Amino acid sequence: MKKLNLMALFFLIALTPIFQSCLDDNDSEYYNDSFAISTIKVLDKDKKDFYFNLDDGSKMYPSEKTGMGNYEIKDGQRAFVLFKELDQKIDGYKYNIQVRNIVNILTKDILDLTSENANDIGDDPINATYMWIAQGFLTIEFQYYGTHSSDKKHFLNLVVNKLPEGTEGGADSDYLELEFRHNKKGDEPVALGEGYVSFKLDKIAEDMKGKKGLKIRINTIHEGGKFKKVDFPESSK
């Protein structure tokens, strides 16, 4: 959990078109708030009762939700949460909070890459500047070039390569190989942008058993195809 400064807030407001933001224009009122990356966990069928599961395993309960506005609650959604910590303690939760604002992180399932969907998935250049595994997700901080116009949507996918040629990563039995794919959908490379995406790992849970982590193939912006490894957290081994 981190203390939010104005630069971090401006970054959240300027997230790529893949994100949808409900931050308002009065930035200064959030200067002393905190923020965290979390996974939403719904507690009832009406989605009125829920909490935020943080990547370190601790939980935040939103006693005050006024800052969420008309935000749509979805179980398993990854999100940045801007909040103020409240003094009153809630049993079973490390933090009791007032939600100030919330920004979704693009949250997706892993796909199989086949000859039928290869063109749609694409393989345009993209950088993965940081990756980590927590709470059953691989989260990637990425960079890409585009116009960053609201009518230009880029598509991101994490795939298991099922093509005949497969992934050319070399033999490495300790790591499960995947590919991080980008389709710019014809957008022009005007300026560098950043963003985050989280991928659910439940589809490959059986394949991950006995592995140290994931080996991700990325078609990088300046160096072409590269592989990056990300280890599983100790608590999941």
More confident residue, 198 or 13: 198
Question: What contacts 183, CB < 8 A, 6 or more positions away?
Answer: 120, 121, 122, 123, 124, 154, 155, 157
Residue 232: is its pLDDT beyond 60? yes
Query: Residue 30 phi/psi, 5° resolution?
Result: -100, 5
| CA–CA distance, 198 with 132 (Å, rounded to integer) | 10
Residue 14: is its pLDDT beyond 50? no
Q: Are 62 and 76 in contact (CB under 8 A)?
A: no
What is the pLDDT of the chain when averaged over all its residues?
86
- What is the pTM for the complete model shown? 0.84
Output the furthest CA–CA distance in the chain (Å, rounded). Answer: 58
Q: What is the pLDDT of residues 151-206, one digit of tens each?
A: 889 999 999 999 987 666 666 789 999 999 999 999 999 999 999 999 999 999 99
| CA–CA distance, 70 with 18 (Å, rounded to integer) | 19
The predicted structure's pLDDT at residue 26 = 46
| CA–CA distance, 187 with 235 (Å, rounded to integer) | 41
In the chain, the domains with their CATH numbers are 2-105 (2.40.50.500), 110-236 (2.60.40.2370)
Residue 18: is its pLDDT beyond 70? no
Question: What contacts 88, CB < 8 A, 6 or more positions away?
Answer: 63, 96
Instruction: Write the DSSP assignment of 164-212 as a string of letters.
Output: TT-------TTEEEEEEEEE-TT----EEEEEEEEEE-GGGHHHHTT-S
Q: What is the pLDDT of residues 195-215, one digit of tens each?
A: 999 999 999 999 999 999 999
Q: What is the pLDDT of residues 97-139, one digit of tens each?
A: 999 989 999 999 999 999 999 999 999 999 999 999 999 999 9
